A and B are shown apart, each in its own frame.
Chain A
Amino acid sequence: MTAEEIGDYLATIGRSYTRELREDLGMLSREEASRLIGQFGFGFLSAFLLASEVTLVTRSFRAGSRAVRWHSVGDEYYETTPAAREQPGTTIELQVKPSAAFALQRQLLMEIVQKYADFLPIPIHIDGDPHPVNLMRPPWEAGDPQAATRKYIERAFRLADPLCVIALRPHVVDLGHDTLTVPLQGFLFVPPASIASIHEYGDVNVYIRHMFITEGERDLLPPWARFVRGVIECPALQPTASREGLHQDDTFTAIQRAVEEQLGEALHHIALEQPALWRKIVRGHTDVIMGWAVRDDAFFERVADVVTLRTSRGVLSLPEYRRLTGDTLYYVTRELGSLQEQMLAEGHDVPVIDASQFVTAPFLEKYASRCPDVRLARLDSHSWHLLRPVPEEPFASVLGYYRQRGIRVEAAAFRPTAVPALMMYPEDADLIREARGALGTDELPGPIAGLVGEYVEGLAGAGDDLQGTLYVNASCPLVGRLAQLSPGEPRQNAALDLLYQVARLFSGRSLDAAGATAAFDAATRALEGLVGATVERR
């Protein structure tokens, strides 16, 4: 720089030499212009964030120019004096503030350079190390872009062996009357399988003219692509004044579309040409992919038959599952206590899908809504349709015994036949019982208790018995034998008491301490009755 250029540009906030040079160059050499990174004209002055003094010795390339020394302590004054320098160029010396000395740690410096200036074509050396710490060019400009990109992913993202890497390319947009080329470069990749669904990606690092702008940008990728990461370089993007973010203008929208189109095409191609890899991608990120497929129809179509679900017979895809059940999807959503329902389903020789992971049920619902042949059967608290009604008459003595004791009972046939009886409760029985108990005390502030009570009483259907209904299994040989015993015979009474208590305990419903004690008490008495009867018989 000349002394005049120093005055005009270096020390003037908001006036950017680089931007003006780029504009001038733009007419002559677009290639050269696109490499310049200055934009707003306060980059240099940011040195004072770290330095108490900045000294610069510079000599312009212009013929006849002389070296100049510029010195400032960061206030409104600066001084320029003649200096000694043989070759054109600039040397800058920062006197780092004690409070900023931490920034001189080698490791930190290296990380900063590699983050912000990895792709800048100027070599950056630390501590006289002859090897520059920055790459100096992005991997897609390397001789072997594929290998360089994989190496870069390992270095920058600390991720080895991505499942696939998708190179981004300049994108031609058809405007109808003309075409527009979006100068897009970079790559996207699918990381190896998430260990837990909490690992949701969908972010890219953004570069403009090889200068780092931001990491973790989420709006450039389509919303469903939460299993994808990458690097995007595009000089058409506009950084904000702070250079930490991007203006979301029309160009941004065009680049979003370009990225979505290229990613969509690439994944479609993988699904067609490399089905094994596609399965690996989808199954590696099942939860994330299911979660986003529920919101995006086109994406749903791509993944619906590939995702796998946990079932009582292991991990299955939906087409595999449908072959076993004749197109009915049996599922349970309850996190605990669905054992009874699963057992009933297995009794009918069908596996049950574990839909306790939240996203599974909406996914199944969407699947069923899009496949006319598929029927959904939620089993928790809705498993009556796995029971077949039977005439009561052959079991009259058994049913009569229970009804005399105020127990709601029905006869039904179901499998497994080894199960003599099951207890089923209205869906909200536990809540209603517990809430009613609470409302009778002062455990909730009055108006809050009123609102709770209003809702709970609305739940309690008139005909529902919160004590539950006992279903006696007509297909169970033991029940058949008990029904043939003479009514009132002690062995029958004891066995029926025991059967009732076992069904209650197996139902998975929580019992309070008093309820559990009563259940054990009744079961013990029943056992004593049976033992007594056996002893007497001997």
Chain B
Amino acid sequence: MDLWQWCAEFERQAGVAGDAERQQLFRYFHRSRPLWETNPERAEGLLVEGRQHAARLAEPWWQLIYEHWRISLLNQVYQYDRALDAAVRATVEARKPRYDSCPIRPYLYLNLVDAYMHIDPFLYESRIREAQDAIQGLGGLDRECLLWLDLGRLDLETRADRPHAAEEAGLRLLASSEEWPYYAGEAYVGLCNLALLRADWDWLQALAAAGEEGARRAGFHRQLRVFLLWQAVAMRRAGKERAAQRLYGQAYAKAKRLGRLSGLKNSTAWGAYHEVGGDFEVALSAVEEALARHALKIPAWRECDFRLRRCQLLAQMGRPLDAALAETREAARRMGNPARILAKLDRIEREVAAGEEGPTWSWQRGNCYHARRSEAM
């Protein structure tokens, strides 16, 4: 019995027993879930209330389940330090014998791994991979845990610049997530990033269109915005400017309505859209804006990622970039393992010195990787 089945069965049995208090336990989650994007504070509040309700009823399994959902929410809304703290506490609690047959343990492990991945995937890369293997090795994992594992591998390998391994995980995730729209959507999101790296515009269009359909059906606003943007990128690249602008406008309006413009502007798709159209200034100003708003408040590797993007754009625009390179190297010193970022900075510097046309997003050079063409798409 997986976690959802367990929750549903608990609710059913409470109903049969006429136990209205216990029957209500699952409802906090149902009220919270639609708010994860529009009002995460309120969503978290409802999850905390759910946990408190469980505590009043002396239902420790439910307490941990609510904690698991809360950690997932915190990871989703970029509150990684809080997610990590809560994940460690919940993991320590979950080891107790009273949770031996509770389906929650692997979920908490996955939350813990996610938190570390968001905090510094470069520093913890090998330890995250080991943890993922260890979770896989637990055996008896339910379907969602397996999907989550593949999603984690897709994220990790993308960040670790291992696109083939990322693609493998992404396609596996896509193939097995038919009845899990969230995971299917995340698979499409990850694969769109890879399609860009591969400069495979047809694949990008197909992935984004399929993703849009699923996101609309499931009502996932964030994914929907991203897929609209990715389609806009593909359309722009294909010279279909009106269609591109329409899709871009839709994504923009939706993000603005929900107060998520900055998230949209920080996305790879946003940058790609403007670069494909030659609007480097717009792409650069979005990165500058993100740095002004987030620098020092986000994990160092994320900040370095923004700074690296700024260096790439400046180089591409033929602008002076010494100061930007120096700032990025300085920021990289705060990372646990800055080697990969520093190597990329060195490469930009070398290419500029060699007089090459500015180093760019790898897709523009068509030199990133030539993936095995997927059968799935």
Q: Which residues of A contact B (CB under 8 A)?
A: 196-198, 200, 218-219, 223, 226, 248, 253, 256, 287-288, 291-292, 294-295, 335, 356-359, 362, 431, 434-435, 438, 443-448, 450-452, 455-456
Contact = CB atoms under 8 A, between A and B. Distances in A.
A445 B109 contact: yes
Contacts of B28: 198
Interface stretch (B3-11, B87-95, B153-161, B316-324): B87-95
Given A358-B48, A434-B92, A452-B92, A447 B127 contact: yes
Contacts of B44: 358
Nearest to B89: A431
Given A435-B88, A451-B131, 7 more contacts: A198-B28, A218-B34, A292-B39, A356-B52, A357-B45, A359-B41, A444-B95
7 contacts: A197-B45, A218-B34, A223-B38, A291-B41, A447-B130, A452-B91, A455-B85
B263 to A, nearest CB: 14
Interface string B28-49: 1001001000110110111011
Contact of A291 (B34, B42, B133): B42
Contact of B92 (A223, A362, A431): A431
Q: Which 8 A-B pairs have the closest CB atoms?
A: A291-B42, A358-B48, A358-B45, A447-B131, A447-B130, A443-B95, A359-B45, A445-B134
B214 to A, nearest CB: 16
B88 A295 contact: no
Given A253-B253, A359-B41, A455 B134 contact: no
A198 B46 contact: yes
Interface string B250-265: 0001100111000000
Given A198-B49, A456-B88, A448 B253 contact: no
Given A358-B48, A455-B84, A445 B89 contact: no
A288 B91 CA distance: 31
Nearest to A335: B52
A362 B41 contact: yes
A370 B354 CA distance: 53
A448 B109 contact: yes
A399 to B, nearest CB: 34
B52 A451 contact: no
Nearest to B28: A198
- Range of interface residues on chain B? 35 or more
Contacts of A444: 91, 95
Contacts of B24: 198
Contacts of B127: 447, 450-451
User: Which of B39, B42, B48, B89 is packed against the most chain A CB atoms within 10 Å?
Assistant: B42
Contacts of A455: 84-85, 88
Contact of A448 (B27, B84, B131, B257): B131
Contacts of B124: 451
A91 to B, nearest CB: 39
Nearest to A441: B95
B113 A451 contact: yes
B39 A295 contact: yes
Contacts of A445: 109, 131, 134-135, 137-138
A513 to B, nearest CB: 14
Nearest to A288: B42
Interface string B203-229: 000000000000000000000000000
B49 A358 contact: yes
A127 to B, nearest CB: 34
B112 interface: yes
A286 to B, nearest CB: 12
Contacts of A447: 127, 130-131, 133-134
Contacts of A291: 39, 41-42, 45
B20 interface: no
A451 B112 contact: yes
B45 A335 contact: no
B238 interface: no
Contacts of B39: 223, 291-292, 295
Nearest to B85: A455
Contacts of B45: 197, 287, 291, 357-359
A287 B32 CA distance: 13
B116 interface: yes
A374 to B, nearest CB: 20
Nearest to B131: A447
| Most B C-beta atoms less than 10 A away, residue of A223, A455, A456 | A455
Contacts of B48: 357-358
B175 interface: no
A287 B45 CA distance: 9
B296 interface: no
A21 to B, nearest CB: 31
Contacts of B41: 291, 294-295, 358-359, 362
Contacts of A451: 88, 112-113, 116, 124, 127, 131
Contacts of A431: 88-89, 92
A291 B91 CA distance: 28
A450 B253 CA distance: 45
Contacts of A335: 52, 55
